[in-house]
Each structure stands twice: as structure tokens, then as C-alpha cells.
Structure 1
Amino acid sequence: MRTTAFKLSAIYLIIFTIFAVFLIVYIAINTQILMTRQLNSAVELEVRGLVEQYRSGGLPHLVQVIEERSRRPGASLYLVTDFRGHFVAGNVSTLPKWVLDERGAIQQTVPYQRLGETTRKEYNAVVSVYEIFGGYRLLVGRDVGEREIFRKVVEQAFIVSAILMILLALLAWIFVSRKVLKRIDVIAEASHHIMEGQLDERLPVTQAGDEFDRLSESLNIMLSRIEGLMHGLKEVSDNIAHDLKTPLTRLRNRVELTLSSDDADSETYRAALEQTLEESESLIRTFDALLRIARVEAKSTQIEKVSLDIGAIAADMAELYEPVAEDEGAELTWDAGPGFEIEANRELVSQAVANLIDNALKYAVRHAVERRGLAVGDHDKLPDMARIHVSISRKGDIPKDRAVDNRPILLTVADNGPGIAKEDRVRVLQRFVRLDKSRNQPGSGLGLSLVNAVATLHDATIILGDNEPGLIFTIQFPPLDTREDDEMEQTQESE
């Protein structure tokens, strides 16, 4: 009885009962009024007809007509009395004495007994009294038994309807309670399994398309997201333990070694401090990257988006990294003109472009060096130079029926490095994922993870392709919403 199903069933029962009572009472009252009006109208019409009969043929003719009509079966009542109230003609034997003293239609029902009946049973009727010449009185009426029968029928219908509604409400409550509670019990059971650690458990969906299915589908999406976050947290914890334990151990060993050295001079201490500072800066950069990724993935309200030209940003980043590429013995080119407007955060998009260029430069140069078996610093001996190309373009053909080009914008960074295998292209966007399993190369495995977070924040799509050789990393940004501009242009053209 504490369940919502019971409470809803009780509320529905009360509402429908009130509605049914109102409907039945309304119909009964209005029907009673209508029948009473019809009876009164019929009595008045008959009185007028008999008065005309009296006027045309006198009292004998009137008595003859009433005697004839009294012998007919039906609900009509007739009575003619003399000036003393003695019976002259009709089918009424007894009446209250005060009735014949009235004139016109009597507003209340009158009890009477029919002439010739052996029983003393009384009936009720609506009557009208008319005085004729010489003190004679004419009474005409109609029995209201049919109206009383209708009233009893209405009362019985009311009782039967009330009983039927209660029974149907109980049946509905039982059916709804069992069905709803069964679904809720199944959801509760699945929730207990999830709380016990079975993160792959999902709420059942019956394909009925009802509110429980919609709720289960929404919760299942949320559970999948939570499961992914939990797995990601576990991987992050493992990778943090692996990536940060090593530099922290080196820091501790270096400090202990320097302090334990008996012949250490100021230069030794200075070198140890410089190396410690370098390791500390690397750790700080790693934690800064983690915090930035967390802030971007949480879609912080402090991240402001404005309309900006991503082509100009890509050109600025490429120009910034061009000297670095020359020092590394690589060729960095770009094709990024103006006119590529998106709504984004300038700092985050710049960071994402920088991470892509830096990542492509690092792996392309190393791949070129390792391919020839040279040392990393022997850039002038590289017969095959590492190449990185940054470009901004639009996806698809130019629309012919639109004044504004609203095609998606593609930011592409291509290199001729080792590339990424297809089975690793999804995993490489996660935190601390490094394809160099030995982890001898510098880096923390957070660069592409930050790029993925920035793309998600801006509703962009990441596409990884094969450059044969190398990798093509593409971010597909949605264009600015130009619907308002189009509507303004159409309005101006129509004007």
C-alpha cells in the first residue's frame, strides 16, 4: 500500500468516482425535471381539451368524454365533482380534501387511489384543477409511477456503477502493481549487482518503448560511461605509478648519491640540482596536462568559446614550429589560409595544434633516423628528410544553392613517420598510452589525449588515416551556425 502504483490507483478511483457520481446525479436531476415538465404540459393540454369539450357540449358531454377516457388503460387521471365535492365521473376514488380547493396546476405530487381497486395502495400524481359552471370541478392528472421507476433505475445504476468501479480499480491496482513492481524489482536487482562490482551489468530493456525502457536506456548509457571512466581511472593509476615512479626514484637516488659523496664539490651539487630541477619540471608538466585534460573533459564553464579563424591559428603554430623542425632536420610545410571560422577556445585549439605538430615531428624524425641506422643528432646525414604538412580545408563539394559555405572544416596534420596500426588508433587517444612499450622516448602519453578532449569539447570528430607511409591526423570541426545569416540574406533578397 506504500507503493506509487497503489496511490495512483486510489487517486484514479477517487477521481473517476467523483466524475461518475456527478454524471449520474446530473443526468437524474435533469431527467426528473424534463419528465415533470412533460407531465405538467400533458396535463395542461388535456385540461384545455376537456374545457373545450365542456364549452361545446355542456356538462353531460364532458361527463361522457371523461367516462370514456377513464376506461382506457394508462397513467391519466380524471375526476368531476359537484359543488359539494361529490363524485360525478372519473377514475379516482379518494383524494386529499384540500386538493379540490386548489385552482390550476398543483406544484407537488398528490396521493390518490384508483377507482375499482380492491387494495388500499396509494399512488402519486401531478394534477391540475379547473372550476367549471355551477361550482363543478374538473381534475386532470398523470401518475408519476414511471418517474419513480426511473429514479429507482438510476439509484440501482449508481450502486452497480460504484461497485463495478471499485472492482475495476482493484483489478487495475493488482495488474499495475505487479507489472510495475516486477519491472522495478528487476531494475533494483541489476542495480545491486552493479553496486557489488559487476560494472558490465546493464538494466533490462524490454523493447516495449515505455518510460521504463527509456529510463533503462538512459541509465545504461550512463553506466557505460561510468564503466569507461572506471577502466580509464584504473589505467591512469597504473600508468601514473609507472611513469611517475621512475623519475621520482631517479630524483631520490640522485640526491642520495650526491649527499653520500665525500668528494662532492659545488659543481657536483649544482649539476645534481639542475638535473633535479629538470626532472621536477617534467613532473609538473605531466600534472598540468592531467589537470587540463580533466578540466576540458568536465566541460568547465570557465572555458570561453569565441568565433575564430582556425586557419590563422594553424599557420601561427606551424610558423612557430618551423625553426624547431629545421633544427631537427625535418621539413614543415603548411597550407592554411583565412576564411575558416569556427566557434572554439583559442588557447585549447592552439594547444591541440601544437601537440599534433610536436607529436608528428618527434616520430617522423626518429623514424627517419632509425630507418638509416643513424644517431639522433646526425640530421645532415639523413637521405630521406622527415616531412610534416599542416593543412586546413573544407569537407565535400562547394554548395551551389547557399550563399554561405557551411561545410565542416578539416584540420589535418600529416607526416611520413612510422604511422599507427589500425588496432591502436582508438587506444592511442587515451591517457598515458604510448606505443613505445619500452618507454625510452621522451613524453608522458598525454598529448593526443588532450587533443581528443579538446575535440570532444568542440563537438569535433577525430579521424586517423594512413599516409603511406606515416599518419594523417584529421580533426573535423563543425562550422559556425549560419542559419541566422541565411535568413537575413533571404529577407534582404525578398525585400
Structure 2
Amino acid sequence: MLWIDLFRTATFRLTLGLVAVIIVGMGLQFSLLYGEMNGYEQLRSNDLLHRSAALLVREEPHELEVKLRERSTNELRVFLNGAAIFDRNHHCIAGDIPNWPKGLHSSPAVQPLTMTLPDGSRTMMRFLVVEVLGPAGEEDRLLVLARSRHMADELRYMVWHAAILSIVPVVLFSLLAGMLLSQRALARIKSIHQAIERIMKGNVHERLPVGRGRDDLERLSRSVNHMLDRLEQLMGEMRDVGNDIAHDLRTPLARVQARLDRASALSHDLSVEKSEVFDKAMGQCRRDLEQCFSIITALLRIGEIESGQRRAGFATMSLGPLVTDIVDLYEPIAELENITLYVVLPDHPAQIVGDADLLNEVLANLLDNALKFTHQGGWVRVSVGLYEDGRVWVEVRDTGIGIALEEREAVLGRFYRADKSRHIPGSGLGLSLVAAIIRLHDGILEIEPNESEAAHTGTVFRVILPSFSVQNMTLSSG
């Protein structure tokens, strides 16, 4: 199973979408949490500033100065980050705020300002300005209290750190769960795909795997199985109709042939001239009947093969002897037609799994077509070879009339006759039978023009069969 297939599954994409939603939700949650905590810290800072100011304004002026000068050693520094007394001209009298903060107004409200620290860094501070009494005979002074936002910064850091620490494992766990779920979905899809492949190869009794689940994939598999049941029923009815017609035709045709035989036996009572005419007519009738019988037999054979019932007779065999025997059988016919017929076999045996009788029919039909459409003085070559991936190929190459490019697919249909071959006797079912047998063996039939150096016309029929190991696996799984 490829990783790229795992990432392309709808389950994994849905998991990525859920991960994104989770991340957005957690971001909103932590933002809301930080907002609440920041608001609470602001209220707390403002409350501390007001409470500290309320305590300090009660002090006597000289005592207040002493406390501010000594705040680094007492508890006042715990609550305040800065405190100082300024006169009305904003000159520092006492405290650790040496200069009047820029932008600070003499207002009773808490004011947030950005300050530059001695080390050059900038920080946000909250200031509160209140009026306090000055020494006797002097004007009132301004008490400036400051509190930094380091607590809010620490809260922000903690929230951000907690968000990172919590989002990372959630995302990793979600991705892992998505991969596991996608792998499970891929396994189900793979089993469905294999079942569909077997159905396409002719096993009409195969059905999609259905478990006990109630998800969409299970419901879809059940619906497809119901559809396949109905299609198999319809195909069976159509096949039965064709078979019944073929069987019903055999009986009256056999009776006609028997009557013709009896009538032929009585032809000696006729005159010589009438007898010759009668015998000629009888011969034509017999040929027509034989053609009818051959068509019916071919249709029944194609129906039997397409049903997939012949797979039970598959066995391991060597293709070389099979080709040699069929070439020996057709060699006398080739000699009578003044056609050169020869065979080329590989050095190593070509092992396949199949039905010997059916493959004999394939070779016989291809050789019969090649000899039938090749003129005198031409040649027909039957070759067997092996591809590097273990597949076996059988090639019938001739120097006949050839097949046009637009007709190469059509000649595999039933009853199709090319324009060049209509004057030659035949039923148009031979290549249909060949195609059905090759599909039964999970093979491929290729039709190409003969473009060898020794010929510029003709046709090449190439049958490609799966490798021996693949055929064994298919046979065992079937």
C-alpha cells in the first residue's frame, strides 16, 4: 500500500479538516482564556494602585517621603513597581521614578503608558496620579504610583506555552488516528476493487464484500450487490433465451438434414441431367446447414465461456507443444494453398495455466483466418516468446489482406465481417470466440499490421497471457 494512496483517502482529508477545526477551536479557547485572565489582572492592578494610594495619602508629608525613600526595604515594594512624589512642576522630590513619565496627565484615572527601562527595553506600565498634602506652607504635591504588566506578560507566556504543548500532541494523535482510519478504509476499498476486477473478468457470481457495519460504504456495497443480482438475473435470462433458441433450432435443422440425406439416396432414380442438378442443390443445402450448425455451436460455446464455468478445467501446461501440434495439423492445408507455414519457439519452455482445449481453439481460429486470407505464395508464422516480467506471448503473423485500423476492434464483435472478407465463407464468430477465451484466461489480444521487412501487408494477432505465478494466484483466489 503506497503512502500517497493513504494521504489521498477521503478519511485522511476529513481528519485533516477536523484537525484544522480543533486547532482553530483551541486557539479561540486559549484566546478567550487569556482575555479573561488579562482583564482580571488589569482589574487587580487598578485595585492595588487605588488601595495603595488610599493608604499613602493618609501619611504625613515627611513620613511619606521617608517611606518612599525606604520602599526598597519595606513591604511597599511588593505591591508597587514604582512610586514617587513630584511637585507641581513635575520635579521629583522623593521615590524611584526619577522623571515625570512622558504622556502622563494629572488625572485620577489609571493610565497605561509604555516606559523605557534603564537597560533599554520597553515595557507597559499602569500609572495612578493622586494629590497629597505638602509640608506646611507649601503647595500640594503629586503622588505617582506605577505598576508594571509583568504579571500579564507572564500569563500570556504561560497561555501560549500551554497552547503549544497541548496542540502538538492533539495534532499528532489526530494525524495518527487519521492514518489508521485511512488504512482501514483503504483495506476495505482494496477488497471492493479486487471484487470488481473479478467481476469485470467474467466472474458474474462475485459480489462486493459486505460487513456488519452500517456506514455509507456498507450501504453502497449492498446496493451494488443488489444491482449485480438483478443484472446477473437479466443476463441469465438473455443467455437462456439465446441458448434455448439455439437448441430449438438444432432439432428442426437436424430433421431437414435427415430428409435431405434420404432425398439424396433417391436421386439415382432421376435422369443424369436432373440428378446432377439435384446433387448440386443438395450439396448447397448441406453446406448451408453445416454453416447454421457451426453458428449455433459457436454461440453456445461463447455463452459457456463467458459464463466463466470453464475455469474449473485450468491446469499447468507448456505452450510450445500445443503450438507445434496445431501447426502440424494445419501444415497440409498450407501446402495445398502454396503458403509457407512455420513456427518459432523460445529456448526456455513457456509455462502457463489454462484450458488446453480452449487455447487450441484460439490457435486454430487464428491460423484458419491467417491461411484463409493469405494469398498463394505468402507465408504465415507462429511465434512464442517470453517478456521480462514473465508474461507469455503467442503471435500469428501473416501476409494476407490485412485489417483496417478502424475495424480492429469491430472484428472482435459477433457476426462482424470486414468489407475485404465478405466474399470469403464464414460466420463472423471466430474472433469473438477467440476474444472470449482470452478474456477467460485474463489475457490480452492485440491486432497490428504486419510491418516486417519481408512483408508490407498482412496482420499480426498477438495473444499475451499472464505470467505463470500470476495465473496460479488468480486460479487459487478464484
TM-score past 0.5 threshold: no
TM-score category of the 2 structures, normalised to the smaller one = 0.3 to 0.5
TM-score (norm 1): 0.42
TM-score (norm 2): 0.43
